[in-house]
Amino acid sequence: MENKVQVFFDSMCNTCQYKFKKVISVAKKNALKDLDDLQVFLCTVDKNRSIDDDNGLVPLAFIFCKKDSYVFFWKEDLYNGDGSSKIKIVNDRLILSQTTIDRIKEHNANNNELIVVKKKQTQDITSKLISENNTSIVKHFNRQMAIMNRQNLLHIIKIKKMILSIVLVIILLFATTGGVLGWYFSSRNNISNGQLPNYNWRINLAEHLKNSQLEGIADNREETILTVAKDKNPDLKIEDLYLTNISETSATILVKSSSNIYDYNSSVEVHYLSNLKTLVTDVKKVNFPKTVIEGTPEELLDIVAGSYENDYLVRSNVIIKKSEMIDGILQADLTVIKDSEVYLNDDVLKIYFSNSNRKLLSDVLTVHNLDDILNKKENTIITEIGEKNSEVNLNEIEVKADSISNSGALIQVTGNSKDYILNSVPIQVNYRVFNPNIGKVIEKTTNATHFNNATIAYGILYLDSIDKILIGTNTGLYLLNSDGTINTKINDDMGDDNDILAIGKLNDDTILVSTKRRTVWHLHKDGSTIDKINNSSIIYSFLIVDGTILAGGWNGTIFQLNQKGEIIRTVKEELESMAIGTLINLSNNTILAGGWNDSIGGKIFQLTMAGTFIKKVGDFKRGIFSIIELHDGTILATSKSENFQLNDDGTVKEQVPGFWDYGLGTVQLPNGDFFMISRSASVYKLRTE
């Protein structure tokens, strides 16, 4: 089994390897099943195959990889009592119907099961850390004991001790050699110390939307329903939500893929009694192809009201007013009569008539949540739309100019479309940009020998005026070429006061350098000395905000410095007992401070522009050493053996694979190249896509 799984894993692309780890880590949460009973096979999906041919099988999870497809089963689900498989397996491959694959999500939801990993999609799975070896053994042991207790197998102390010993030995053997779990612990792809993510970043919508009875409301517009829901549930963040299935008495509230707070697979149905309703509540069909391109208002209204999809339309309360021919389509406004007691008085709905077969884009682009996407390039967005909406002609849609954001985009029909009505209303699609590959090591460009055998390095900075990278180590300052290779050592004026802790660039292109001796050196960009300041405290980081120089110190202290690097005041004391090793001003003007302490882990705080404390936004086991915002908007925080992608408020988006050692500083060049300095005084080039 180990060899087969290793071969499968090695043949996957990086994204699907990440999904594979998610399946394994989340499957382990099932306390009543042994992870050694989880099996993985190659899978072919036959869209013409009948679900009856699958004999009622429903996989635990499915991964579509561009190289192949993989399916996960518990043994008890896949095999009959006599050990024979319920479905034919040839060369570790089985064939399933598309309907069976589609049932995975529903089956898991009904049974509180694990996850479904769909094509090119990373589900937001809040998986638990597999504890370090001793903890893992204890937890596995406790689970076995719980099951045995339920079966009343332990009656006397002597038998109990014997069983405990046997179980412990078996667990030790399996944890290192057996089954999928044993392979996963020993795999070279595993995270250090056999650990996996344990971060529950997004919550179920129901945790904030507990009161779903909204009682009487003025109308059933989306904004009205969400506002009332907010009034009934004060913690609710309605900007992350949207509605479907809106009727006169109920609606389903869904989560946008872009939400940083709620699991986008969660939803809540709310109930109410609306005084007035929108036209779209009763008018489900608004496009009438192959009908007419002219007619009186009454004739056009006959067509609208005569459609079975619009059976609930109260005809006496609506009229058709303005109509005009645009690009061969007769477009008319369905409006509400004055003082209607049924519909919103100012509501207007556009109706389309034609003798062609053009569709509205909204007829086929019905799934607006794209979930996670690797980047926000137009081609990526369009491709993901096709994945979610198979009937959309991707050649006839485009992203509306300047509408792309970190959370969504507007999709419109192209000007030369033959399938769709040209001036269809643009459709908002939602997504979360998340690429787990960002920050992975590409290559090492320099090592400690290039820095006179330095043993640690903290600072890394790009000097755009000379197109060089400045590195601070415990043997002094060095310049690197823009490809990360060594150029030269600079500034021997520092003498033995060259154990660098932080470097920062001022607005005039001069440089501040702090050392372990509480010194701040003010240097020209060529490294020559301008001034030397002796401060009373160590400085671990610099940040220049609108001419104000902030610095991070020990014990969570934030200082303000003058242009020479001299401490002129203490802004904040004791954020917590740690070194503030990184300060950053994000593009949305959020100031973040990250820190570390070997005994208590790491923290991220929000600060004001003046450096005063706002709030803590994150706790981390292994410290936070650098935070950087990349050109594509990705915010990456480095820790020991793991990295974190952050939201633009400093909260965690996802934990991602990290460098095996401490990444103590990061920098991105104008050409997009991304570099990191490690604790061992080596420089690495990292991935940005």
Q: Is residue 315 part of a domain?
A: yes
Q: Is residue 247 part of a domain?
A: yes
Q: Tell me, what's the pLDDT at 120?
A: 39
Do both 494 and 451 map to the same domain?
Answer: yes
Do both 481 and 588 map to the same domain?
Answer: yes
Number of structural domains in the chain: 5
Do both 346 and 365 map to the same domain?
Answer: no
Do both 210 and 148 map to the same domain?
Answer: no
Query: 207 vs 145, which has greater pLDDT?
Result: 207
Q: How would residue 481 be classed by pLDDT, with cut points 50, 70 and 90?
A: very high
Mean pLDDT calculated for residue range 48-59: 86
Among residues of the chain, what percentage have pLDDT more than 90? 56
Instruction: Measure the CA–CA gap between 24 and 180, rounded to whole angstroms.
Output: 8
In this structure, of 75-79, 317-321, 382-386, 464-468, the range with the lowest mean pLDDT score is 75-79
Do both 595 and 640 map to the same domain?
Answer: yes
Quote the domain boundaries for residue 601: 441-686
Do both 228 and 324 map to the same domain?
Answer: no
List, for residues 416-435, the tens digit of each pLDDT value. Answer: 999 999 888 899 999 999 99
Q: Is residue 375 part of a domain?
A: yes
Residue 38 bridge partners (DSSP):
74
Do both 151 and 292 map to the same domain?
Answer: no
Enumerate helices (H) and strands (E) in the chain, giving the number of each.
Answer: 12, 39
Whether 46 shows a pLDDT value over 50: the answer reads yes
Q: Tell me, what's the pLDDT at 147?
A: 37
Mean pLDDT calculated for residue range 257-267: 90
List, for residues 23-34, the tens digit of each pLDDT value. Answer: 887 777 676 677
Q: Is residue 633 part of a domain?
A: yes
Q: Is residue 198 part of a domain?
A: no
In this structure, of 61-65, 146-150, 255-259, the range with the lowest mean pLDDT score is 146-150
Q: Tell me, what's the pLDDT at 28?
A: 73
Mean pLDDT, rounded, of the chain: 84
Give which of 684, 682, 680, 683 is closest to 455, Cα–Cα. Answer: 680
List, for residues 356-380, the tens digit of each pLDDT value. Answer: 999 999 999 999 999 999 999 999 9
Among residues of the chain, what percentage have pLDDT more than 70? 84
Q: To 10 degrees, what angle do helices 2-11 and 179-186 make?
A: 60
Whether 572 shows a pLDDT value over 80: the answer reads no
CA distance from start to end of the chain: 33
Concatenating the DSSP letter of every residue in 625-659 gives -EEEE-TTS-EEEE-EEEEEEE-TTS-EEEEEEEE
Do both 496 and 523 map to the same domain?
Answer: yes
Q: How would residue 313 be classed by pLDDT, with cut points 50, 70 and 90?
A: very high
Mean pLDDT calculated for residue range 448-477: 93
Rg (Cα) of the chain, in Å, rounded? 30
Reading the block at residue 356, the tokens are 């062609």
Do both 558 and 681 map to the same domain?
Answer: yes
Instruction: Measure the CA–CA gap between 408 and 403, rounded to whole angstroms.
Output: 8
Of the three residues 262, 277, 292, the one that is the final residue of a domain is 277
Give which of 521, 402, 412, 366 is closest to 459, Cα–Cα. Answer: 521
Strands 38-46, 93-97: pairing kind: parallel
Give which of 641, 648, 634 is closest to 604, Cα–Cα. Answer: 648
Q: Is residue 606 part of a domain?
A: yes
Give which of 1, 28, 32 is closest to 135, Cα–Cα. Answer: 28
Of the three residues 192, 225, 252, the one that is the final residue of a domain is 192
List, for residues 536-567, the tens digit of each pLDDT value. Answer: 999 999 998 888 999 999 888 999 999 899 99
Do both 253 and 300 map to the same domain?
Answer: no
Q: Is residue 612 part of a domain?
A: yes
Give which of 447, 502, 456 is closest to 475, Cα–Cα. Answer: 456
If one counts every other C-beta atom within 10 angstroms of the C-beta of residue 540, the result is 24
Give which of 533, 531, 508, 507 is closest to 520, Cα–Cα. Answer: 533
Q: Is residue 197 part of a domain?
A: no
Do both 533 and 588 map to the same domain?
Answer: yes
Of the three residues 145, 163, 192, the one that is the final residue of a domain is 192
Half-sphere exposure for 618 (CA within 13 Å, toward CB):
32
Instruction: Measure the CA–CA gap between 253 and 231, rounded to whole angstroms.
Output: 15
Q: How would residue 121 be classed by pLDDT, with cut points 50, 70 and 90?
A: very low
Do both 569 and 659 map to the same domain?
Answer: yes
Give which of 500, 467, 455 is closest to 662, Cα–Cα. Answer: 455
* Residue 439 · residue 636 · CB < 8 Å: yes
> Could you tell me which residues come within 8 angstroms of residue 150 by beta carbon, excluding any fewer than 6 positions away?
none
